[in-house]
Structure 1
């Protein structure tokens, strides 16, 4: 974890982190201060009901995300993002001036204009916020950077919400709220001046001001990569799910737990700490690369703890006199509720951080900011739909705990749907689970696997788990050419069938299948994919390296791409190897967490990649450990 916190010492990250933290803090300071002010002093401002004002304020703040996200994405692709960040901070200071005028004039319309402009400020900064990170951070820093941003954002929301409520209740004149907001905005401007230059990827871009056509165009950019688009849908679903829970906290604290105002803060703080913990753990659990195997893990936790929150919610406390905070904490049922909220936050961090990093890594650099803009639009849309759906269900008499339980079940259905469309998420989860739960994997040379473009990966074949281990370590998906008989193994067969593995048979056994395998491998390389093969042809029966067959030469004849030699070490003697003559015979033969290694060598040009040369490379990488 020292690695990700080390980013806070780097000039390429620290000013940007501070700028976005202060922006999120200021949004929530002003928003909550205004809501509290209008709730408790509504008669001074309007004849509208306080609850209507609160929903009106929320709607006005989110409206710019629909109107201007597309434009914001274009600006972030056309201009230097560091310059845009500074201009956004200048706009934020001007907005606080508008807010001050609204407070002095006791004008609700002017204050709503200021709130709308603050929504515009967040809309403009959104694409900058996520598109700038891949320009300033290395690939192995993206998970840690996103973790810090997500944790920092939720902490800023919590502190800003608390500060806004305190400020609204303690100042003599409400204009001091705007003064406080101006000071925070000025601090954000000063930090933004330290953000390094982030050159635009598309300076020749002509900005289209039509929000409808440009929104559709941005979504089309996102849909060019199916995994990116479904990741965006996953992110949007998370914001719907999380916002649904957060919106119910006040009523849940009052009517279900029987608590007062301080209990709302407790629920929000617990959930926020959970998000922070989960986000911070992502880098350690993912090995510093974008590990989308954590996403299914996160969705499982979101479902289980959402359901448990339904069962844990007490009935006996409803309708009682509001408890003081200490009295509330003396009730055992409340601790289970807090634990569920904490774990919802933790697994939410596991879910959201890899998805944001995946969108950043796999989006086209020329369109990245516009794809982030499409993400922001869909996030806002999902949150509005979720809020309307929750309001309708609660209006029909559904209880808040039941709403939580229903949302958790829907989360499971959404997860199954997305993983069915893109099996890579589930497959990486299986690979991650195997590597983390059964073995202790050490890797060297992963940077030799190309970040993009076609390549052939060759490795020694020690066990039935070889491909899964390599998949779990590789930052990119791999299409393995594998003996067709392995597809008959119950669990591994399911994994390989759904990850696009290519079955192959010998010429004597099934010449048609062999020809089809080579044709499919050629298509995969033509599409820019990684193709993995085990040139020995079979799993070793004695742990030693067998002669490499000429199949790799045939693949390279039609597509002369680089070949990356890889060596697995330590798997001989494991449950999945043939050390006893038959694999998978003695469970836990070497216990749990046995040490294994994957060594990746430098790419070999196609003209030098003879079977003999590749075998020598793999043998050298493996060393004496089998």
Structure 2
């Protein structure tokens, strides 16, 4: 396995290329989600919104044994370029009238291939002392793109679907062009074969290796719970806003998603900037990120009983801040452990498989609650309680293991 790291400065052309490509790709990813939801709502099929989310995350699960090795077996910048091409084709097909679920599923294929490459490339470009900061910069770029993509997607969906699709397609094309500026790094962990059976076996080995590593296991479980709940909350907003706030447009739920994104940017800055400089949240003190995770669920429970836009916006921003503090150090921790064992691309593919399996389960549960005509406020309360129990169990297990390790070291 190639463990060589370039150890680039953070303010390098390569880093700016990664940030730019990720910005425009993520902007288009989030704009097309709002546009696709608006499209099925306009057709009188709003109940298909959870199916859109399912079509997007399913490729992450089905392709997990392959995308990690693709990311590690080829130059990651070129993998990102090919993945953006898949996304571009999916957006063009939806614009041309194909069933949105199919087109959005193709975008999910591109996203599944893109994800392990975009995060895995950081561990080849930066040493461990810069890796959390690099992740913070990438996460900040991603969330800024999510914010702008949600805002533009919501606004354009309410005004002009033609312009909405033009903007999405243009953003994907620009991301693909910027991908060409990313340094052409050597493959990190080339496979002797790309035969499906062999790749599935390698994926299983990577999964077992990471699950036996306490740090990697903690990271994957923590991020899976966070993003699983985040994807469910995003869908809930489209049902909750008309009921709780009596606002019927596409812009308001998109804006609230954007407020969460602003909060995550702030949380990422805390985790990767001032807090790291002070030694508060670093790879050797990652347990402190649990504070952010534990604070999310009480805020969600409060949100379920809000009926005014300003308090709802403040609570959503706070959820974002706590989420950024929680998830950024966990991502960096997994990249470091993966880079030292199975390859960062394989580690991110395993993580994506776990995260998206949890997303599919949570979204499926919400879809069942929706079909059972469960009040959205009740569903949100149950969702908050589930999140609280999940992160609390994770925290207790992590802290118990830490105490056991300290006890053994004293013997």
Which residue of structure 1 lines up, in the alignment, with residue 3 of structure 2?
none
Change (3 A) 1:13 1:52: same
2:301 touches 2:385 (CA, 8 Å); kept in 1?
A: yes
Q: CA deviation at 1:178?
A: 4.7
1:366-445 matches, cutoff 5 A = 366-396=342-372, 398-423=374-399
**Distance (Å, rounded) in 1 between the aligned partners of 2:179 and 2:75:** 13
1:75 counterpart (50, 61, 70): 70
Change (3 A) 1:253 1:184: same
1:85 touches 1:125 (CA, 8 Å); kept in 2?
A: yes
**Distance (Å, rounded) in 2 between the aligned partners of 1:10 and 1:32:** 33
Q: CA deviation at 1:246?
A: 1.7
Which residue of structure 1 lines up, in the alignment, with residue 247 of structure 2?
259
Q: Which structure has greater helix proportion?
A: 2
Matched, 1:348 2:348: no
Secondary structure of 2:186's aligned partner: coil
**Distance (Å, rounded) in 1 between the aligned partners of 2:176 and 2:217:** 33
**Distance (Å, rounded) in 1 between the aligned partners of 2:90 and 2:302:** 43
Matched, 1:273 2:180: no
**Distance (Å, rounded) in 2 between the aligned partners of 1:96 and 1:409:** 36
Change (3 A) 1:344 1:34: closer
1:71 touches 1:214 (CA, 8 Å); kept in 2?
A: no
1:201 touches 1:365 (CA, 8 Å); kept in 2?
A: no
Q: CA deviation at 1:268?
A: 1.8
2:229 touches 2:362 (CA, 8 Å); kept in 1?
A: yes
Matched, 1:59 2:54: yes
Secondary structure of 1:203's aligned partner: coil
Q: Which has the larger radius of gyration?
A: 1
Matched, 1:245 2:152: no
Which residue of structure 2 lines up, in the alignment, with residue 307 of structure 1?
301
Please give the per-residue CA displacement for 1:304-357, whole angstroms capped at 9, x wherever unaligned: 3223334x424xxxxxxxxxxxxx5xxxxx443332222111111111001001
1:218 touches 1:373 (CA, 8 Å); kept in 2?
A: no
Change (3 A) 1:79 1:243: same
Secondary structure of 1:293's aligned partner: helix
1:7 touches 1:14 (CA, 8 Å); kept in 2?
A: no
Decide which moves more: 407-416 or 354-363.
407-416
1:216-231 matches, cutoff 5 A = 216-231=204-219
Q: How many residues align?
A: 396
1:232 touches 1:359 (CA, 8 Å); kept in 2?
A: yes
**Distance (Å, rounded) in 1 between the aligned partners of 2:94 and 2:372:** 38
C-alpha RMSD of matched pairs (Å):
2.8
Change (3 A) 1:307 1:36: closer
Change (3 A) 1:406 1:116: closer
**Distance (Å, rounded) in 2 between the aligned partners of 1:218 and 1:167:** 42
Q: Report 1 or 2 for greater relative contact order, CA contacts < 8 Å, sequence distance ≥ 6.
A: 2
Task: Extract unaligned runs of 5+ from structure 2.
Answer: 1-7
1:66-465 matches, cutoff 5 A = 66-99=61-94, 103=96, 106=97, 108-109=98-99, 112-171=101-160, 174=162, 177-210=164-197, 215-261=203-249, 262-283=251-272, 284-287=274-277, 289-290=282-283, 291-310=285-304, 312-314=305-307, 334-363=309-338, 364-396=340-372, 398-423=374-399
2:50 touches 2:364 (CA, 8 Å); kept in 1?
A: no
Change (3 A) 1:415 1:82: same
Q: Which structure has greater strand proportion?
A: 1
Normalised by the size of structure 2, how large is the TM-score?
Answer: 0.86
Change (3 A) 1:500 1:134: farther
Which residue of structure 1 lines up, in the alignment, with residue 4 of structure 2?
none
**Distance (Å, rounded) in 1 between the aligned partners of 2:373 and 2:157:** 33
Secondary structure of 1:33's aligned partner: helix
1:21 touches 1:153 (CA, 8 Å); kept in 2?
A: yes
